[in-house]
Structure 1
Amino acid sequence: MKSLFKRILFGLAALVFILPPATAKVTLEDVYKADEAQRAQDLAEFEQYKRDYSYPLEPNESSTPSGQVVEFSTGGETTSVITKTLKPTNGWVCSLSKVSGYYGRGLKGTDAHVYQSGGYWRLKSGRASCGGCAVSAKAVCWEVD
């Protein structure tokens, strides 16, 4: 029994140490071909992600548009607070579409928002005291039925 075990062990050792290791040449084309299906799926998911999250929000467009779309801006970046009256709340929907600016010392973030007040939509941007910051904002309003 010991002799059989020794022979098997010696045979396995001979296979491991005497036979050369098997190698295969793998090219970049082989890798691309093996990965092609996964890459196609990843690209499709990425395109869907871009459609869902990367593009600016826009109103739904129908074949027969019934209302108009109007864009408003507070102008260039400024250090003062600007409030603009947009459209009446009756028959219109407004939304913040863009905010830009730069931070000054002590500023924790820009401030811009669209809100309803006195029957109108209003766009407000800027901070009263922000240590040298500047803010600009844009809003878009859609006429609704």
Structure 2
Amino acid sequence: MMTANCLCGAVHITIAAKPDFIFDCNCSLCRKTGAAWGYFKPESVSAKGETIGYARSDKALAAVDVHSCTACGATTHWVRTDEFRNQHQVNDMVGVNMRLFDPDQLDGVPVQFPDGKNWMGEGAFDFRREGLTIGVDARW
């Protein structure tokens, strides 16, 4: 079990284990929130503290509500929007901003760099550079 908190300490995120990988995406949402995402089953994530959610308005169906601390503004996690869950009958994952965790806690986790900026929303996306493994290839 691992716990991290936002910059001011008001929000605590607990995950059951390290993620299988981290996506450091360059799409506008990821870039502008400053997040790099680990993906988890909803039951393996606990968020404590006051957050505010934001769902994109530039998409026909926003898939996620991105949550940030109401005090310091740090991006903490995302959950599926009600509309997405209802339309797809799925609540399959939660994204956690892995930048909240100390890199020493993430030793051995692969980081991938998807090219979300140029992805059209259908099918597989390309990667903008080769991945790395935290602590093995580099300090992330």
Which TM bucket (shorter chain)? under 0.3
Work out which of the two has the higher radius of gyration on C-alpha atoms and give 1 or 2.
Answer: 1
Q: TM-score, normalised by structure 1?
A: 0.19
State TM-score, norm by structure 2.
0.20
**Between structures 1 and 2, the one with greater helix share:** 1
